[in-house]
């Protein structure tokens, strides 16, 4: 059967992608950010996952205009990289896994998660920046990717608790898949940031570090954080952290923290990154 | 009545913050359609060549068009816009997201960048208008 062997969370700031693509990753400003991801690149070489279920949000690139899905699952064989206004990122096309995606879609809808299924989807920096951070420069990505896009932009977003339970259902769905796949689940976005209004630039390291501290063994407290709390404490875009709870919910009760990184700032955002291993 | 963890009114109680919702999304639909059109190079070229003429292709309000021409992001947010759509415009202009975002604050781009390098804007006093915390 398939198993979820690791959960990884990371911010997905577009400026990180731009710095990476333009070879500025060793600049004084960016070097400390990229250094935080050296460990995970070596980890991924050892782990060699088959598939990543990649929770991210579409930034008005493929959805949010005509259709606003709360949870949207990428079903296709491949996902082109979106042009977000400055040309497509020069990174490989993202390769999907339609058979596992179809299995997830069936199981999750049966478990009351009424997903939107995307038979065509272009992916933006929310999906491709984490791939660059986990795998570095590649001719092709060494893993198949099932994108799971979450509405964190248009209020009301799903609650953190709803995201956690979706994660639990994803775990069950993966474990009922007959092929022996090594599956990772990634939660992306965050940490604290606000990209609009006079309050733009908000960073709350106290909130962020408490979130990182509790993610392993006090996650029950994180499940209770309301949307309003996220907006007040972590900024309007800090609510992306609910996607970390999908990842965490998919790992079961006990996890081991393997790696953690926190850095302020990358452009407007507090960067957080954590690697967790499910226990038992 | 179903129970709610908090009143939706409280979403209006966060200083310097507009919460994007379904009604705003509808109000900005044509503005956002314009923004997403800038995801194609042909359209970016047409927009650069004649901004006013290009905007006539969209059923945006006169106020929305004027705010686009003025690159007034604060106004565009007031008129229903959301930053993830609006950065298609600033990206077309070659602005960094940080520059676009900083334009909504009372800081210059340089002062805003310095604030971010120094750790960002503290949440102290920025959580609640009513609670003054």
State whether A204 and B92 contact (CB < 8 Å). Answer: no
Q: Which of B17, B39, B88 lies at the smallest CB-CB distance from A236?
A: B17
Contacts of residue A201, Cβ cutoff 8 Å, sequence gap at least 6: A194, A268, B101, B102, B105, B112, B115, B116, B120, B121
B1 within a domain of the structure (yes/no): no
Asked if B78 and B119 sit in the same domain, the reply is no
Q: Which of B40, B104, B116 lies at the smallest CB-CB distance from A198?
A: B104
Asked if B52 and B65 sit in the same domain, the reply is yes
Asked if B38 and B59 sit in the same domain, the reply is yes
What Cα–Cα distance (Å) separates residue A251 from each residue in A15, A167, B93? 30, 8, 43
Local structure of residue A58 (DSSP, 8 states): -
For residue A280, pLDDT beyond 80? no
Asked if B81 and B131 sit in the same domain, the reply is no
Are residues A61 and A124 in contact, defined by beta-carbon separation less than 8 angstroms?
Answer: yes
Asked if B47 and B75 sit in the same domain, the reply is yes
Q: Is B13 exposed, middle or buried (0-12, 13-18, 19+ CB in 10 A)?
A: middle
B116 within a domain of the structure (yes/no): yes
Where in the sequence is the domain holding B32, given as residue range(s)? 22-94
Q: Per residue in A104-143, pLDDT tens?
A: 999 999 999 999 999 999 999 999 999 999 999 999 999 9
State whether B83 and A196 contact (CB < 8 Å). Answer: yes
State whether A200 and B16 contact (CB < 8 Å). Answer: yes
State whether B104 and A207 contact (CB < 8 Å). Answer: no
B10 within a domain of the structure (yes/no): no
**Chain B: closest CA distance from residue A268 (Å):** 6
pLDDT averaged over every residue in chain A: 98
Asked if B116 and B62 sit in the same domain, the reply is no
Asked if B84 and B108 sit in the same domain, the reply is no
Q: What percent of chain B has pLDDT over 90?
A: 97
A42 within a domain of the structure (yes/no): yes
A65 within a domain of the structure (yes/no): yes
B115 within a domain of the structure (yes/no): yes
A279 within a domain of the structure (yes/no): no
Torsion of CA A31, A137, A143, A68, to 10 degrees: 70
Cα–Cα dist A270/B20, whole Å: 22
- pLDDT (average), residues A196-218: 98
Q: Which residues pair with B45 in a beta bridge?
A: none
B131 within a domain of the structure (yes/no): yes
Asked if B27 and B90 sit in the same domain, the reply is yes
Asked if B87 and B121 sit in the same domain, the reply is no
Cα–Cα dist A16/A30, whole Å: 8
Asked if B41 and B74 sit in the same domain, the reply is yes
B48 within a domain of the structure (yes/no): yes
A252 within a domain of the structure (yes/no): yes
Which of A236, A234, A246 is closest to A272 using CA atoms? A234
Q: What is the CATH number of the domain that holds B77?
A: 1.10.700.10
Q: What is the CATH number of the domain that holds A253?
A: 3.40.830.10
Q: If you measure CA to CA, which chain A residue comes closest to B32?
A: A65
Q: Per residue in B74-100, pLDDT tens?
A: 999 999 999 999 999 999 999 999 999
Q: Which of A155, A204, A268 lies at the smallest CB-CB distance from B19?
A: A155
Q: If you measure CA to CA, which chain B residue comes closest to A84?
A: B39
- pLDDT (average), residues A165-180: 98
State whether B121 and A68 contact (CB < 8 Å). Answer: no
Are residues B5 and A228 in contact, defined by beta-carbon separation less than 8 angstroms?
Answer: yes
Residues of B in contact with A226 (CB under 8 A): 5-6
Cα–Cα dist A132/B73, whole Å: 30
Q: Is A23 helix (H, G, I), strand (E, B) or coil?
A: coil
B13 within a domain of the structure (yes/no): no
Residues of A in contact with B122 (CB under 8 A): 202-204
Where in the sequence is the domain holding A218, given as residue range(s)? 3-198+205-270
B60 within a domain of the structure (yes/no): yes
A277 within a domain of the structure (yes/no): no
Asked if B111 and B89 sit in the same domain, the reply is no
**Band of pLDDT at residue A54, cut at 50, 70 and 90:** very high
Asked if B31 and B72 sit in the same domain, the reply is yes
A254 within a domain of the structure (yes/no): yes
A257 within a domain of the structure (yes/no): yes
Active site residue A263: no
A54 within a domain of the structure (yes/no): yes
pLDDT averaged over every residue in chain B: 97
Q: Per residue in A19-49, pLDDT tens?
A: 999 999 999 999 999 999 999 999 999 999 9
- Report how many domains make up chain B: 2
Q: If you measure CA to CA, which chain A residue comes closest to B85?
A: A60
**Band of pLDDT at residue B1, cut at 50, 70 and 90:** confident
Active site residue A193: yes
- Report how many domains make up chain A: 1
Local structure of residue A149 (DSSP, 8 states): E
């Amino acid at each position: 059967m398939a198993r979820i062997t690791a959960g990884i969370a990371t911010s997905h700031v577009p400026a990180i992608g731009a710095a990476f693509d333009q070879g500025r990753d060793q600049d004084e400003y960016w070097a400390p950010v990229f250094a935080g991801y050296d460990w995970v690149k070596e980890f991924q070489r050892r782990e060699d996952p088959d598939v990543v279920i990649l929770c991210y949000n579409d930034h008005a690139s493929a959805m949010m205009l005509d259709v606003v899905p709360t949870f949207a699952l990428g079903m296709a064989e491949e996902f082109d990289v979106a042009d977000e206004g400055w040309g497509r990122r020069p990174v490989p096309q993202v390769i999907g896994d339609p058979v596992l995606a179809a299995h997830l879609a069936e199981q999750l809808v049966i478990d009351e998660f009424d997903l939107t299924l995307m038979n065509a989807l272009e992916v933006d920096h929310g999906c491709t920046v984490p791939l660059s951070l986990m795998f570095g420069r590649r001719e092709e990505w060494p893993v198949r990717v099932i994108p799971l896009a979450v509405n964190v932009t248009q209020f009301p977003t799903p609650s953190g608790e709803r995201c956690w339970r979706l994660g639990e259902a994803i775990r069950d769905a993966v474990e009922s898949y007959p092929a022996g796949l090594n599956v990772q689940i990634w939660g992306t976005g965050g940490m604290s940031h606000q990209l609009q209004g006079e309050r733009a630039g908000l960073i709350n390291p106290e909130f962020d570090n408490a979130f990182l501290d509790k993610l392993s063994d006090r996650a029950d407290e994180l499940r209770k954080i309301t949307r309003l709390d996220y907006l007040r404490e972590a900024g309007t875009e800090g609510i992306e952290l609910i996607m970390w709870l999908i990842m965490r919910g998919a790992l079961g009760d006990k996890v081991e923290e393997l790696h953690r990184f926190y850095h302020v700032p990358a452009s407007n955002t507090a960067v957080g990154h954590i690697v967790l291993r499910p226990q038992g | 009545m179903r129970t709610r963890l908090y009143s939706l009114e409280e979403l209006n109680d966060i200083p310097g913050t507009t919460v994007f919702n379904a009604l705003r999304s509808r109000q900005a639909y044509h503005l956002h359609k314009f923004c997403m059109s800038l995801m194609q190079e042909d359209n970016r070229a047409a927009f650069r060549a004649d901004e006013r003429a290009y905007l006539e292709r969209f059923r945006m309000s006169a106020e929305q068009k004027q705010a686009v021409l003025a690159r007034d992001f604060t106004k565009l947010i007031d008129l229903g816009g959301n930053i993830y759509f609006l950065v298609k415009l600033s990206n077309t202009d070659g602005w960094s997201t940080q520059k676009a975002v900083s334009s909504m604050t009372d800081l210059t781009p340089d002062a805003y960048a310095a604030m971010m390098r120094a750790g960002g804007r503290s949440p102290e006093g920025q959580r609640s208008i009513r609670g003054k915390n």
